[in-house]
Amino acid sequence: MITLNSRGYIFYISDNWTNHNTNKIGKWMYFFNNKDFISKICKKAIEENIVDTCKHTNDNDGVACFYIEYDNLNAHRKVINFFLENNLIPKTKNGRYYDISFKTDEQTLNGEYGNDFKAKMKLHQFIDLKNGKWIK
């Protein structure tokens, strides 16, 4: 595994990294408030071959991004299962999973943030938010 500290992020890159279609890349995101925890999670995601690239902001709180190609259903399954197994998807007061979004790099490059961001893929398209069971 290669670890790089660049432009406010710490990147984790698998030794088995493969070239991806940059037009299809996007990320599942996790917002954290414990840098040590997220560092361990990112390393684990690489070591367990969940993703071959991930990063997190180099601060005590911020965002972690787990990169995959948006049309790879198996990759979505791996990341979502990893998120579920590691309690990375917050729940509502009623115990439902939050309907987190997958964001393409194209949306990021186009400056789609906050109210300008309209997710094309959300968690409810993959699992039942009530129980975490797969629907796809």
Specify the pLDDT at position 112.
Answer: 67
What pTM did the predictor assign? 0.91
- Tokens at residue 38, please? 């997220």
DSSP H or E stretch at residue 29? strand 25-32
C-alpha to C-alpha distance for 8 and 47, rounded to whole angstroms: 23
Q: Strand, helix or coil at 61? A: coil
| pLDDT lower than 70: segments of the chain | 110-112, 136
Specify the pLDDT at position 81.
Answer: 98
Specify the pLDDT at position 118.
Answer: 79
Other beta carbons less than 10 A from residue 45's beta carbon: 24
Place of tokens 């070239």: 19
CATH superfamily, domain at 2-125: RNA Cap, Translation Initiation Factor Eif4e (3.30.760.10)
Residue ranges of domains in the chain: 2-125
Check residue 91 and report its DSSP letter.
B
The backbone torsions φ and ψ at residue 44, rounded to the nearest 5 degrees and listed phi first, read -60, -40
Contact 24, 37 (CB under 8 A): no
The residues near 93 (Cβ < 8 Å, ≥ 6 apart) are: none
